[in-house]
Structure 1
């Protein structure tokens, strides 16, 4: 990977830019507390100002506020509720069979994991708000980097190609936010850089309109982005944009009613030819140095984390501390110098069953611990019931273990090449092209990497793909999207513990395939409408 001098996640840069962009939430119009601070020409007269400004846009994926990891720059939301990756984890993982959060008195989590949420749920407000903050930050960067302003500020011509690339990255981050809004909520208010800050209530875009907007944006910016793997870890490039397009096309039938599997395969094949490669060790994707070890060859887009300089209660902090078993007391497995959070995360029996059988005994992806535990959870408050697992760990790939106390050093792998392999097999089975031989070969690469058993062409079907995605990608915030695409998230075709509210699980209504628009967002923007059934 080509390295640049772009020190994207320097704490000093993020602190400065988050000061400039510290915001509150009204109707998800994001308004700086001091509107003049970011517009101050003195800021843009400094060397590296645009580099610092784009770092702040990226920083919204990682940090939540200026007063340390417990603060939030969104009014009325705490840090845990308002962190971007934490929102994805809550809504894409804890709403499924992959994990159960033991502490159901934490605001909103009981309703999420039992699939009984309403528009008043604070976790929904947190994710809706945080994605709209991404939109607002990206828009402000685009306002401040027009050709007219660059001319007024006498920005040297030599710096302008790099600023043009930053503008493409800002548009990508805005498109990524709308992609997540489309997937989770199905609608969102439209804002771009031409709309003055705080002066307009965004018009509602429905799911089809968001799809078309994100698709058009990603296609338009592609040539202005860096080639795949030619930027520092944590920055977006052409490969990242290709990945979001591939994911959109794979899910297009859900989003728009029209299958687009051929287009999905087109971008999958582009990604396969873009220079990415699997890490030799599966676990290196989830270690404390995954932003610098061999996993950088596999992770297409990751959200960096640093336990010293950029702390947050993001997903990897939750999954390291929360993964420690209350019976096992195995905080050492997670590279923690504290006892962890007392069995905060456990597994449903239905997820554990994905690894049943001798073929998975030596599979590196099978890190489930259950020797001293009952499989079935009969009492949510009894943390000794239900199996646990070890996935994200602060221990480095060379075995070294920095003294990490609570906060994680593990970057969150939003998109990985392994997912592309699995997407190829699924897109092929759904009529998108490719070959059965290539599909089986890619699946077997993943299985051989994990030390597991290979499959034959006769083993490959959609049910296998769904289970294999759980085995490879669990706790990476894909499961809800996958279950919906396979018709198993709502309804009664697939039941897991606590689905629908009861311990044994119940069928749920198809309205649960979308989250409701938060009530606060509806009350402050009358252009928004609620999703059916809420």
Structure 2
């Protein structure tokens, strides 16, 4: 996506000056008076406040590793790290990079409390984002604005910026509580600075806080921008989308289901003017941030640009790592980028089970499938089985769902441009209407009102070119979410909600370390708090099953 990202990119460079310290030290003034901090950057004009807000969005795509102990900056990007935790740990994806211990652990569900680059990045990036947001809210409080002589017109506009910041903080908190359970909890009103250690809050308490914040932001009198008015930044559609997702998983997070609330949030979204993109594939093409039909479906997205957001995370990872270098030549660039890393691919068993593929010819690269969503695989030169070949990239099916070629071009017409594309232009859809339709279906099913959701299910089926079900069951939802939301960062959370993630009765390729699959311990539904964080903050406890310590979570 180009048009809006260029505006964001130039202010991101300035925003990087705002927050350069470790978490907990954000309000410390520099020894060098020429260094910029939040105390000196903000003034009476709009630019500093936009730059500060942009820094919060930029935390999703940042490769900056000053405060991270990771071996690969690209792998530390938040979208990529969270995606790895959600997809590589499940039936949907396996990674061929055997030399990385954390990859082996994710592939085979054998992680422990040992250092893990993916989970460590999720932990630190989300807490950084929360700390940055808290500081932004402190710096944009009414008394601070008044002291700086900010005009009433700009002060009113900044209220909208603050609402966006609060949404982003809720999103960071959702990611953290989903992956780690109990997490350190702070707001703009918490003590901060050197020597202050954030206290750990229960998963339920953090969930309740997020629900309270999001409910306030969704209110009619909220300064949050109106739905479909603020892309690629957040608006009320994004707020309600995250609310619906959190309600969907409320029983996992708190022990109490909230199906009616999930249904109500979805119905509010249905009044906001969103619509399904007519072509499923267009949602994931290189111009999805500029294509009006794709944008009509996206409630919240992370914007990427090959010239401005040069990150090896996000959709660059999902395009480059999904193909081999041998798939790319001067006459062939199958997904619109000029290289291939040979990293992530899909087990054949997943494709067969959920898409019912048939008649695969690995020499010709052809196969038969009825579901249009199943046409995104590339199999030429591949081998079907990963048995004994987990770390051989060409064993398995390559997925070209994220394709940098614009929706109105083909490989040949885009070839000359693709030759210069070392990164992706594809925006990553964090929340979209297809997901909301499936949340609605699940909520209605659990309320005994499944027929109410059938029209939404029929719309998804019509787009996919398949026959819609006549009833909604959990089994169908497990399968349909595997198809509709494949590789969008949902799978682990879905399988946990359905009681399948650790179960020995629901197996997949290399689950638990065995090719045929085996169950693993329930404590692994959440991950270990990084050891470095436990060592630096005595207020933290380790999650059950990982090393020493106790937890308040059951």
The one of 93, 96, 100 aligned to 1:102 = 96
Query: Which of 493, 497, 516 in structure 1 is aligned with 2:509?
Result: 497
Quick check: 1:346 aligned with 2:339?
Answer: no
Counterpart secondary structure, 1:374: coil
> What residue number does 1:411 align with?
427
Native 8 Å contact 2:137 2:188 kept in 1: yes
CA distance in 2, matches of 1:116, 1:500: 6
Residue of structure 1 in register with 2:194 after alignment: 198
The CA distance in 2 between the partners of 1:292 and 1:12, in whole Å, is 19
Give 2:77's match in structure 1, choosing from 78, 83, 86: 83
Q: Equivalent of 1:398, from 396, 401, 408? A: 408
Checking the alignment, whether the CA contact within 8 Å between 1:99 and 1:347 is kept in structure 2 is yes
**1:178 counterpart = 2:186:** no
Check if 1:207 corresponds to 2:203. yes
Could you tell me which residue of structure 2 aligns to residue 68 of structure 1?
none
CA contact (8 A) 1:107 1:122 kept: no
- Residues of 2 paired with 1:133 and 1:30: CA distance? 11
| Separation (CA, whole Å) in 2 of partners of 1:490 and 1:203 | 30
Match of 1:449 in 2: 463
Return the offset for 1:43.
Answer: 4.2
Whether the 8 Å CA contact 2:82–2:118 is kept in 1: the answer is no
- Residues 347 and 56 of structure 1, relative CA distance in 2, 3 Å threshold: same
How far did 1:395 drift?
Answer: 0.8
- CA gap 1:453/1:221 in 2 versus in 1, 3 angstroms: closer
C-alpha deviations, 1:390-435, integer Å up to 9, x for none? 110111122163444321111111111000111111111111x655
User: 5+ residue gaps in structure 1?
Assistant: 66-71
Distance in 2, Cα, partners of 1:81 & 1:188: 22
Contact 1:22-1:33 within 8 A present in 2 as well = no
Matches within 5 A, 1:157-306: 157-194=152-189, 195-222=191-218, 223-231=222-230, 233-293=231-291, 294-306=293-305
SS state at 2:275 partner: coil
Q: Residue 69 of structure 1 aligns with which residue?
A: none
For residue 365 of structure 1, the aligned residue among 366, 369, 373 is 373
Contact 1:143 1:193 in 2 (8 A): yes
The correspondence of residues 416-495 of structure 1 with structure 2, limited to 5 A, is: 416-431=432-447, 434-436=449-451, 438-450=452-464, 452-458=465-471, 460-495=472-507
Change (3 A) 1:75 1:422: closer
Q: Bigger shift: 495-504 or 293-302?
A: 495-504
Structure 2 CA distance for aligned equivalents of residues 410 and 263 of structure 1? 32
The Cα of 1:158 is off from its aligned counterpart by 0.9
Question: What whole-Å deviation, never above 9, does each CA across 1:10-41 have from its counterpart, x for those lacking one?
Answer: 322001111221233xxx53547965622343
In the superposition, relative to structure 1, how do residues 33 and 80 fare at CA in structure 2: closer, same or farther (>3 Å)?
farther
RMSD of aligned residue pairs (Cα, Å): 2.2
Distance 1:265 1:457, change over 3 A: same
Query: Which ranges in structure 2 are unaligned for 5 or more consecutive residues?
Result: 359-366, 547-554
Q: Give me the whole-angstrom Cα distance separating, in 2, the residues matched to 1:497 and 1:30.
A: 44
Query: In the alignment, is the contact (CA less than 8 A) between 2:327 and 2:333 conserved in 1?
Result: no
CA contact (8 A) 2:45 2:150 kept: no
Query: What's the TM-score once normalised by structure 1's chain length?
Result: 0.91
Q: TM-score, normalised by structure 2?
A: 0.88
CA contact (8 A) 1:6 1:51 kept: no
Cα 1:241–1:42 shift into 2, 3 Å? closer
Encode CA deviations 1:111-168: one digit per residue, 9 max, x unaligned: 1121111222222111100000110110111111111111111101111121001111
The answer to whether the Cα contact below 8 Å between 2:44 and 2:151 also exists between their aligned partners in 1 is no
Alpha-carbon deviations, 1:324-372, whole Å to 9, x = none?
A: 146755862210123x11x312212331121116798242211223364
SS in 2 for 1:92: helix
Q: How many angstroms does 1:508 deviate by?
A: 0.7
Aligned to 1:382: 392
Tell me the distance in 1 between the aligned counterparts of 2:239 and 2:102: 32
Contact 1:13–1:52, Cα closer than 8 Å, also in 2: yes
| C-alpha distance 144-360 of structure 1, shift in aligned 2 (>3 A) | farther
Structure 1 residue 104, shift from structure 2 partner: 2.1
Structure 1 residues 52, 506: closer, same or farther in 2, change over 3 A? same
Task: Determine the C-alpha separation between the residues in 1 that align with 2:148 and 2:260.
Answer: 46
Deviation sequence 1:79-99 (CA, Å, 0-9, x none) = 223211011111011111111
Q: What's the offset of the Cα at 1:246? A: 0.8
Conserved 8 A contact 1:272-1:420: no
CA distance in 1, matches of 2:305, 2:394: 31
- Given that residues 305 and 408 in structure 1 are in contact (C-alpha distance below 8 angstroms), is that contact kept between their aligned partners in structure 2? yes
- 1:19 maps to 17
8 A Cα contact 2:27 2:192, kept in partner: no
